[in-house]
Homo-oligomer: A and B are copies of this chain.
C-alpha cells in the first residue's frame, strides 16, 4: 500500500510561474486548445508550449490532440496533491497548539476559556 504520492517538487515548481498559474486558472473554467490558451501572453508559441509541458509533466493538466489541435484540460489530482501538503502542515501546527494548550493547562491546573 505505498500510496504512491505525486511528487511535490514539480508541482510547486510549475505553480511558481505567473504564466502557468494563469493557465491553470483559465483551465478551471473549462478545456481549451493551446492556441487559445496562449493568446493572452506575449510570447512565442514554442516558449509557451514549454509551460504547457511543465504543467503536464507535473500532472496539473492533461492534453489530447485531435487533428492539428491540442486541447488541454485541468487534471485536478496535481492540485489536490499540493493541497494535501498544506493540510498536513496545518495538522502539524494544530497538534503543536494542542501541545501548547496541554502544557498551559497542566501548568495552570485549570482550563478557562473565555
Contact = CB atoms under 8 A, between A and B. Distances in A.
Interface of A: 8-13, 15-18, 21, 24-25, 28-30, 74, 76, 79, 82-83, 85-86, 88-89, 92-93, 96
A76 B17 CA distance: 21
A12 B8 contact: no
Contact of A86 (B8, B18, B79, B93): B79
Nearest to A88: B25
B13 A9 contact: no
Contacts of A83: 86
Integer count of this chain's copies in the complex: 2
Given A9-B18, A18-B9, A28 B92 contact: yes
Top 5 A-B pairs, shortest CB-CB distance: A12-B16, A28-B92, A13-B16, A12-B15, A12-B12
Contact of A28 (B13, B18, B89): B89
Contact of A13 (B10, B13, B76, B79): B13
Contacts of A8: 15-16, 18, 21
